[in-house]
Structure 1
């Protein structure tokens, strides 16, 4: 299945909880972000493919630092449906994401942004409707404070290992990453679970007990 078809199917039928359950069933039980990364407003949802950028703290700026070089290259290189995942290792002194990066990313068809750092220009990003999940809000620039040092290398965010190309699904329940090698397997099993849950839901609405539906389907 090509990337566009994967995204279309996931957007239409899947959500973080069912994907998390499916990963659990395959033995992947550390794929849900544990830190409190929140959407900028209710209703924001992300389904896309990760592009990882790793930040480190800095405490000065001069002509040799070139603080934005890797950040600019990653954002300018985004493809349809990709999601910048900016790993700051919980550093909330910096806001690596703001309105101008959102504007460029949205133009390129990015599905949103996730960072365990902070975000700024919140009102403008909300007006744009660009989905962002972040560790907090902070008006400060990264200049003098932090720099993306590596792009498209593995990272850890909220205790989850993530690599560029992994599938990410983020909604009001949380953020789950699916390793690239498991995407089609997880999709197949998750879709089967969603469709079985539809049957269970109808049985419950018609008066079946939880014991009855669990005995029949093994789903709750």
Structure 2
């Protein structure tokens, strides 16, 4: 079964970033969780979808004949249902705020389900009202114009310490953001669902009074 055949809405209700990170550790991939400075705008929202990447660079001026948003606009207008914009700004940064209310509105209309950036975000109150999951490297009012520019899209990037390619599975919740490489996403999801079942059994045994050592010996989950 491919990752695309999974019901993402159903997975969002049962998976969590910690269990995905644990399973990726078991697969030998120990650097798939974004650095902890990346935080959700709304702790109550969970995000799962497929990465669409954008690479930003610092800029310090804008030519009169230039559209500094050209590549960024092209990415947003090309988003598909269940896509997540993943924007690498070499963060944490105090200069580049690539995401705000208008990009959120446009992305929602395309069926996208979230944004992750190690740069800044702005228009926070409006984004929260839209209940659109956004994970960010900081909050600030700065426009990216004259400070940062998306130079390329849909190529492998680094965001908050993790290499991300378009099509990778991205999961975010209050604990953080985890990236599952596309080629192993189906295997990771199946292993994560199995681990969730084991953790549920472990929790039940602990609630019934068994010692932690006894439960760990039985299920191998901690």
TM over 0.5: yes
- 1:62 and 2:63 correspond: yes
Do structure 1's residue 151 and structure 2's residue 150 form an aligned pair? no
Question: 8 Å contact 2:56–2:148 — kept in the other structure?
Answer: yes
Aligned pair count reads: 220
Q: Which residue of 1 aligns with 2:86?
A: 85
- Equivalent positions of 1:40-55 (< 5 A) are 40-55=41-56
SS of 1:31's partner is: coil
Question: Gaps spanning 5+ residues in structure 2: where?
Answer: none
Q: In structure 2, do the counterparts of structure 1 residues 75 and 42 end up closer, same or farther at CA, with 3 Å as the change threshold?
A: same
Partner of 2:206: 204
Task: Tell me which of 122, 125, 129 is aligned to 2:124.
Answer: 122
Shift of 1:31: 0.3
SS at match of 1:118: coil
Q: What TM-score does the superposition give when structure 2 sets the normalisation length?
A: 0.95
What is the rounded CA distance, in whole Å, between the counterparts of 2:7 and 2:57 in structure 1? 33
Separation (CA, whole Å) in 1 of partners of 2:46 and 2:194: 22
1:8 deviates by: 3.0
How far off is 1:92 after superposition? 2.5
Shift of the alpha carbon at 1:100? 0.4
TM-score by length of 1: 0.96
Mapped to 1, the partners of 2:46 and 2:65 lie a distance apart of 38
Question: 1:196 offset after TM fit, Å?
Answer: 1.1
Q: 2:182 aligns with which of 156, 173, 180?
A: 180
After the TM superposition, which segments of 4 or more aligned residues of structure 1 sit over 6 Å from their partners?
none
Alignment match of 2:196 (pick from 190, 194, 197): 194
TM-superposed deviation, 1:57: 0.8
Query: Following the alignment from structure 2 to structure 1, what is the Cα–Cα distance between the partners of residues 6 and 195?
Result: 19
Q: Does 1:32 align with 2:58?
A: no
Q: Shift of the alpha carbon at 1:17? A: 0.4
Stretches of structure 1 that go unaligned for 5 or more consecutive residues are: none
Whole-angstrom CA distance in 2 between matches of 1:193 and 1:147: 41
Query: Tell me, what secondary structure is at the counterpart of 2:6?
Result: helix
